[in-house]
């Protein structure tokens, strides 16, 4: 094991030095202070303890994940390694004991391996490089890491074979799990630097970095000046209009109350705990910004379509009010100028992009709290399974928050898992089901009522046109006397109807309602499964991960449509 210890120490030193250089080069994107490194380990005898010792000797914090309670795990450690086990366990900053079954230890080791991969950016694997020959071994953990997009430093057991890097991103065309066929890179400074830059630094795309800088420089807003969209909802009879629509703090208060209810019911309960302040603050901030820019964007296009229709009506009103042509022309000019300025302002300040980016970020961040408390669950990697590299700043930021939150602590007893899963169903999934149901009802009602108004307008146009034809045949003098009013109706009402159609099309209310319905149904099914009486931690983690995907997939489709 001396050769293995030497190689692991070399690997840890190289990772530390390269990551420190990367941090220095990208310090503006990170919090002030020196970077903190942590190792997550099950403290098994041999390579696990060697790696933990090497990491702590290089200034790493230690976070421990055990497949069984500490006492039972210690009994399984050979006598010669128990002193190191005790010393390392006592020094751990986070200590998580999983509900492994002593009668089925292989499943327990798989569970621990899944937790290690979930909480790690980089996996150091000491193994022979062969495909798994059974459950719970290093080979199975390596395949899990590859499928999750986690890069691996492969330290061969045979000292004659070189240390190498494995990562699914090295072959982005297809996901390969068997190590014999995975594209490798040599373990050296250049390749390590390239890997860590893709893993830890913001995306290289300068536009994405500009978007991230904009996010960092956002300011808090107490009031909302753009209320055209809430006025539309009130006009359509979908919701009431009042002071709440001007106060940004009201939404923040509701969000804070929801987060407190979640923490009281889920965190520091069921045997597992984790400080959720970092995730909560990041989610709250991005959600607040998303709400602000959503209202700005929706209000902006409501104003544009409304003023455009009004300008057409005023233009035709000049035929009836011949003595007021100059002021009416001036009003038209002002309306056109407002539309131009409103459009330019919205484009310049990127209301649309900022709304969608911040909404996607908030929805990525919210379920992290439940995935963390499950211990072995994790969000999907950025990018794709075959190329798990953050191309968007929101992917990078969410991954950074997940990383900085660390490993949960405590003991998850087998009998506590159903209660933990039920709490997550009640306080994570159910509120999203209720939100999507309410959202679907509201916007479907808005779409329906706008459709009825639009239909009524065009029926009015049709009846007016038919009446005009009849009048031209029977009473042409009547048409002559009312020609300006008839022109206003026949030209002005279509402009209003077209404006309503434009608002419906731009808002995609019907499509959004259908997507919310679909998401609600998916989440409701997952909530039912989470409430199973005999649910285990592996099953609960699978369901939690799928719930996070369902919450985010709705937004992904939304962005493609809009």
**Which pLDDT tens digit goes with each residue over 473-505?**
888 887 777 777 777 777 788 888 889 989 988
Q: Please state, as a whole number, how many other Cβ atoms lie within 10 Å of the Cβ of residue 344.
A: 10
Cβ atoms 74, 105 nearer than 8 A: no
**What pLDDT score does 562 carry?**
43
Strand partners, 186: 164
**129 Cβ neighbours under 8 A, 6+ residues apart:** 154, 156, 161, 179, 180
List, in sequence order, every beta strand (DSSP E) within 102-230: 123-127, 152-156, 164-166, 184-186
The torsion angles phi and psi of 98, rounded to 5 degrees, stand at -90, 160
User: Which residues of the chain form CATH 3.40.50?
Assistant: 2-201
Using one digit for the tens of pLDDT, what is the confidence trace for 381-404?
988 877 899 999 999 999 999 999
Judge whether residue 559 has pLDDT over 60: no
Residue 390: how many CB atoms within 10 A of its CB? Answer: 22
Beta bridge partners of 63: 40, 94
- State whether residue 13 is helix, strand or coil: helix
Report the distance separating Cα 436 and Cα 360, nearest Å: 15
Query: Measured between alpha carbons, how far is 15 from 13 in angstroms, rounded to an integer?
Result: 6
pLDDT at 99 exceeding the cut of 70: yes
Across residues 225-230, what is the average pLDDT?
93
Tally of CB atoms within 10 A around 307 = 19
180 falls in which pLDDT band (50, 70, 90)? low
The three-class DSSP label of residue 186 is strand
Tokens coding 238: 């979908």
Structure-derived torsion over alpha carbons of residues 100, 103, 109, 114, reported in degrees to the nearest 10? -50
Higher pLDDT, 179 or 4: 4
* 525-532 CB contacts, 8 Å cutoff, 24+ apart: 526/425, 526/429, 526/550, 527/425, 527/429, 527/430, 527/433, 530/421, 530/422, 530/424, 530/425, 530/429, 531/421, 531/422, 531/425, 532/418, 532/421
Q: Is the pLDDT reported for residue 8 higher than 50?
A: yes
Task: For the chain, give the percent of residues with pLDDT over 90.
Answer: 66
Each residue of 351-381: pLDDT tens digit?
999 999 999 999 999 999 999 999 999 999 9
Q: What is the pTM of this model?
A: 0.90
Q: What angle do CA 25, 27, 29 make, to 5 degrees?
A: 115
User: What letter would DSSP give residue 260?
Assistant: H
Q: What is the pLDDT of residues 521-540, one digit of tens each?
A: 999 999 999 999 999 999 99
- Are 361 and 398 contacting, i.e. CB atoms less than 8 angstroms apart? yes
Alpha-carbon span 9 to 207, nearest angstrom: 39
Q: Phi and psi of 126, rounded to 5°? A: -100, 105
SS (H, E, C) 377-395: CCCCCCCCCCCCCCCCHHH
Are the C-beta atoms of residues 405 and 278 closer than 8 Å to each other? yes
Mean of pLDDT over the chain: 90
Confidence of residue 560 (pLDDT cuts 50, 70, 90): very low
pLDDT score for 1:
67
The more confidently predicted of residues 561 and 380 is: 380
The DSSP string of 43-90 is: --TTHHHHHHHHHHHTT-EEEEEESS-HHHHHHHS-HHHHHHHHHHHH
**pLDDT digit string, tens, across residues 32-91:** 989 999 999 999 999 999 999 999 999 999 999 999 999 999 999 999 999 999 999 999
**pLDDT band (50, 70, 90) for residue 181:** low
Query: Comparing 446 with 557, which gets the higher pLDDT?
Result: 446
pLDDT at 457 over 60: yes
Domain 2-201 class in CATH: alpha beta
Residue 561 has pLDDT above 60, yes or no: no
Rounded to 10 degrees, what is the CA torsion of 166, 168, 172, 174? 120
Q: Determine the Cα–Cα distance for residues 468 and 486; give it in Å rounded to an integer.
A: 8
Q: pLDDT confidence of 434, banded at 50, 70, 90? A: very high
Question: Rg of the Cα trace of the chain?
Answer: 30
Length of the chain: 562
Torsion of CA 28, 31, 34, 36, to 10 degrees: -130
What pLDDT score was predicted for residue 255? Answer: 87
């Amino acid at each position: 094991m001396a050769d293995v210890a030497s190689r692991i120490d070399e690997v840890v030193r190289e990772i530390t030095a390269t990551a420190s250089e990367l941090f220095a080069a990208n310090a503006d994107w990170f919090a002030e202070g020196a970077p903190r490194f942590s190792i997550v380990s099950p403290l098994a005898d041999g390579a696990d303890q060697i790696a933990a010792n090497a990491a702590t000797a290089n200034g790493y914090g230690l976070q421990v994940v055990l497949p069984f309670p500490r006492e039972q795990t210690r009994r399984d450690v050979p006598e010669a390694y128990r002193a190191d086990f005790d010393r390392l366990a006592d020094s751990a900053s986070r200590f998580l004991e999983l509900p492994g079954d002593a009668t089925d230890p292989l499943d327990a080791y798989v569970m621990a391996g899944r937790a290690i991969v979930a909480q790690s950016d980089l996996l150091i694997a000491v193994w022979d490089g062969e495909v798994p020959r059974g459950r719970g071994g290093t080979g199975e953990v390596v395949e899990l890491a590859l499928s999750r997009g986690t890069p691996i430093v492969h330290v061969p057991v045979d000292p004659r074979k070189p240390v190498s890097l494995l990562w699914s991103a090295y072959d982005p065309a297809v996901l390969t799990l068997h190590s014999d066929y995975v594209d490798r890179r040599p373990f050296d400074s250049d390749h390590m630097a390239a890997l860590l830059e893709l893993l830890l630094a913001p995306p290289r795309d300068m536009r994405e970095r500009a978007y991230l800088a904009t996010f960092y420089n956002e300011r808090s807003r107490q009031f909302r000046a753009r209320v055209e969209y809430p006025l539309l909802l009130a006009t359509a009879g979908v919701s009431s209009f009042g002071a709440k629509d001007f106060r940004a703090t009201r939404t923040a208060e509701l969000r804070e109350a929801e987060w407190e209810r979640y923490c009281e019911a889920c965190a520091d309960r069921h045997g597992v705990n984790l400080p959720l302040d970092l995730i909560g603050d990041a989610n709250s901030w991005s959600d607040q910004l998303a709400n602000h820019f959503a209202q700005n964007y929706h209000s902006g296009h409501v104003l544009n379509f409304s003023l455009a229709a009004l300008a057409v009506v005023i233009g035709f009103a000049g035929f009836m009010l011949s003595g007021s042509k100059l002021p009416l022309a001036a009003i038209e000019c002002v309306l056109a100028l407002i539309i131009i300025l409103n459009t330019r302002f919205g484009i310049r300040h990127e209301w649309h992009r900022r709304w969608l980016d911040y909404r996607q970020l908030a929805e990525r961040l919210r379920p992290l709290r439940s995935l963390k408390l499950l211990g072995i669950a994790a969000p999907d990697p950025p990018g794709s399974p075959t190329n798990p590299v953050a191309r968007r700043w929101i992917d990078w930021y969410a991954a950074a928050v997940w990383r900085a939150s660390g490993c949960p602590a405590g003991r998850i007893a087998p009998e506590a898992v159903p209660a933990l899963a039920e709490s997550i169903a009640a306080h994570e999934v159910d509120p999203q089901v209720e939100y999507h149901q309410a959202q679907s009802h509201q916007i479907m009602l808005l779409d329906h009522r706008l459709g009825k108004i639009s239909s009524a307008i065009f029926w009015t146009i049709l009846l007016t046109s038919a009446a005009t034809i009849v009048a031209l045949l029977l009473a042409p003098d009547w048409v002559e006397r009312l020609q300006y009013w008839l022109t206003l109706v026949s030209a002005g009402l279509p402009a209003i109807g077209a404006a309503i159609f434009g608002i419906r099309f731009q808002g995609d209310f019907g499509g959004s309602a259908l997507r919310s319905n679909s998401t609600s149904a998916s989440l409701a099914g997952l909530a039912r499964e989470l409430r199973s009486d005999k649910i285990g931690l592996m099953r609960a983690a699978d369901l939690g991960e799928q719930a996070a995907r369902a919450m985010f997939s709705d937004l992904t489709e939304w962005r493609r449509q809009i």
